Structure 1
C-alpha cells in the first residue's frame, strides 16, 4: 500500500499546494454530537431529496421543506399521518415524491429510537469512532430510510462527522494505492478502505475528511 505522503505528492503534482490548501474540508462550527436531532433529520432529508435530483432546485425550495416538515421536529414527523402525506403531495413548495416524503417519517422514527436508546441521536452518531465509519454507514443503511449508498456518508459529512467518501475518484485512488482491486461495494473492500484511512490518519495526523479529499485530487478527474 502506498503511503499517504506518496498519495499527497500525486495530488500536489496534479493540483498544486495552493489549490489543495484552498479546497480542504474544515471542522464544523458545532460538532455533530452537540447538534440537535432536528438538524440531523433535516440533513438526512436534504440528502434523500437531492439524490437523483437537481441540488439547486432543492436548495431553492428548502425553506418550503422546513415549513412543510415542521422544522424537522423529530417527534412530530415520527407521527406523520395519512393527512400529512396527502398535504405534502399537494404542496408545490417541496418536491412531491411520496417515497422520499415518507422517508422523513421513517428517519424520524429511526432518530427517535436512537435518542431513546442513547439519550441523543446526534450525540450517538457524533461519538461513533471514525475508525469504524463503515460500521456507521451500515447502521444508516440498515435502520434508516434511503440512507444507503452515498446518501448516508454525504449527509454525515455535511453534519461534520469526520468520514471519508467513497466517491468515484476516491475509489480510483484506493485502487492506485493498492488498497482495493475494483469497486468498493463489498464489505471486504470497505473494510480494507477503512483500515487504509486509519493507517493514513496515524501516519499524517490528518482527518479522514482531509485524506479523502487529497485522494480525490490524486487521480484524474
Structure 2
C-alpha cells in the first residue's frame, strides 16, 4: 500500500505545490461547484438532499438545481410523513408537473426514502443523528444501509448527498478509483463487498496516517492521478 505522504506529494506536484493543492481540496468538490452545507439537517432536508441527488444522477445537474423551487412545492417541502403517503393520485399530478423533472421512476423513490428517513428518526431521534452517528471507519456500512433501506441510493448517489451535507465521505469517482488501483488496493472498480471493504481499510489507514478525514483523503486521491 502506498503511503498517503507519497500520494499527497504526487498530487501536489500535479497541481502547483502543496499550498495550491490544500486550497483546491478545501474549496472544491468532485465534479461540481456545489458547496458543502455544514451543520445538522432536519429530516425534511435529508429527504430533499437524497431526492436532489437521485434526480441529478445521470442528468444535467443544473436543470434540477434550476427547478428546485418547483420540486419543493411539488413534494410538500419534502415533509417525510406526507411524502411517505404518495399515492396514485399524487403520482398522476407529479408526472404531469412541468415545474419538476417528470421522471416516474425517480418520482417513485421519494416515498420509500421518506419511510427510511422516518425509520432513522425513530431509531436515533433524527435522521441526522442516525447518519452522523455512524462511524466513519465503517463508511461502506452506511452506504450499504442506505442502498438496502432506501431507493436508488446506490453507486455514488448517496456519497454525493453525504459529501455535500458535510459527512466525511469518499466518492469512488473515476479518478479516485484510478488512484486506488495505482495504489494496489483494488484492480478494478470496487463493486463487490470484498473490494469495498479493502477500500474502507485503505482509507482508514490513510486517515490515521495523515490525521485528516475521509473527504480530505478522497479529494487528494482524486487529484493524484487521472482516470485516463
2:51 corresponds to which residue? Answer: 45
Task: Output one character per residue of 1:18-63: Cα deviation in whole Å (capped at 9) or x when no partner.
Answer: 43122224695643xx320111000100011001111110011011
Unpaired runs of 5+ in structure 2?
A: 28-34
Residue 54, structure 1, aligned to residue 68, structure 2: no
2:15 corresponds to which residue? Answer: 15
Q: Going by fraction, where is helix more abundant, 1 or 2?
A: 1
Unpaired runs of 5+ in structure 1?
A: none
3-state SS, counterpart of residue 101 of structure 2: coil
Normalization by structure 1: what TM-score?
A: 0.95
The answer to whether the 8 A contact 1:25-1:209 is kept is no
2:103 corresponds to which residue? Answer: 97
1:113 corresponds to which residue? Answer: 119
3-state SS, counterpart of residue 148 of structure 1: coil
Which residue of 180, 191, 207 maps to 1:201? 207
Distance 1:143 1:205 in 2: 32
The root-mean-square deviation of aligned C-alpha atoms, in Å, is 1.5
Shift of 1:182: 1.8
Which deviates the most, 191-200 or 16-25?
A: 16-25
Q: Judging changes above 3 Å, is the alpha-carbon distance between structure 1 residues 25 and 77 closer, same or farther for their aligned structure 2 residues? A: farther
The answer to whether the 8 A contact 1:110-1:143 is kept is yes
Task: Output one character per residue of 1:157-187: Cα deviation in whole Å (capped at 9) or x when no partner.
Answer: 1111101111111111011112122221111
The answer to whether the 8 A contact 2:42-2:128 is kept is yes
